Amino acid sequence: FKLHAVCDKNGIFHSFDFTPANVHDVNYLKDVKENLKNCLLIGDRGYISENLRVDLFNYSNIELSVPMRKNQYDFVEFSKTKSKIRKRIETNISQLCGQFSININLAKTFQGLITRITSKITSFTMIQYLNFFIFKRSLNKLKINLC
């Protein structure tokens, strides 16, 4: 299975979903267009699809921004601001893998897999909440609260 997540620019998860590993990443965006409106989505190269980008904009006014491959026709460099936001999201995923071992899962059923991953993402979000609102720390200093 693949985990797809939507985060804001600070790295707070707003929604996530699972798809079978053999399903292409762009199929997840068909579900996203029902839930989100008037926003900017920054995705990785797995979400490159001109038809889907136009469909998202026409249906929900969602602008999909994906870094281009260097060998693509009319290559345009990805902006530094979007790259920083994308790095924040990648750091969150790395923290989930490193500190919460989200990629190591011993669940026996699909329901068990969903339950374990949901609890890890919920714990991650709770630590972000505590850091920001209670302890007045940087939002994503997870190791301080894990100790």
The mean pLDDT of 118-126, rounded to a whole number, is 92
pLDDT range class, residue 146, cuts 50, 70, 90: low
Confidence of residue 136 (pLDDT cuts 50, 70, 90): confident
- Total-model pTM: 0.80
Read off the CATH number of the domain in which 34 is found.
3.30.420
pLDDT tens digits along 4-45: 888 888 888 888 888 888 988 888 887 888 888 898 888 888
By residue range, what is the domain housing residue 92?
2-146
Domains held by the chain: number: 1
Question: For residues 38-47, b (16+ Cβ closer than 10 Å) or e, as one string?
Answer: eeebbbeeeb
